[in-house]
Amino acid sequence: MPAETHRIGSRTTAEDVAVLLEVLLGEDGTDDHDHTTLADLGVDSQGLVDLWAAVREEFGERTLGPELDPDVVDLTMTLTAVSTAMAALVATGYDDDS
């Protein structure tokens, strides 16, 4: 069971994730989230795994959440779509009843 201090996943928004991704990708202040894909920013498969690890580290317990499913998040997705998907994955890893 996660420590009480790590139970923040359900409160994570797509905007929170987008800000973190901007910082990690060196795109701080990017206005074109709806058109810029991870591939456009030079992210590869390992980079995507690393981004997900950073999101889990920042917004939940380190072991939180499922592995990234290529059918859910992939390199052709825009920053907006990736942020939304990752926020939803963080929220599903959060158990309000525990």
The residue-averaged pLDDT of 8-29 equals 82
Split at pLDDT 50, 70, 90, the class of 10 is low
CA atoms in the 13 A half-sphere facing the CB of 83: 21
Q: What is the pLDDT of residues 38-94, one digit of tens each?
A: 999 999 999 999 999 899 888 876 555 567 777 789 999 999 999 999 998 888 765
Q: Which residues pair with 78 in a beta bridge?
A: 37
Split at pLDDT 50, 70, 90, the class of 28 is low
Is it true that domain 13-92 has CATH number 1.10.1200?
A: yes
- Count the Cβ atoms, other than its own, within 10 Å of residue 89: 25
CA distances from 55 to 75, 97 (A): 16, 22
Split at pLDDT 50, 70, 90, the class of 98 is very low
pLDDT at 92: 78
pLDDT at 95: 45
Split at pLDDT 50, 70, 90, the class of 34 is confident
The residue-averaged pLDDT of 3-14 equals 62
Amino acid at 11: R
User: What residue segments make up the domains of the chain, in order of their start?
Assistant: 13-92
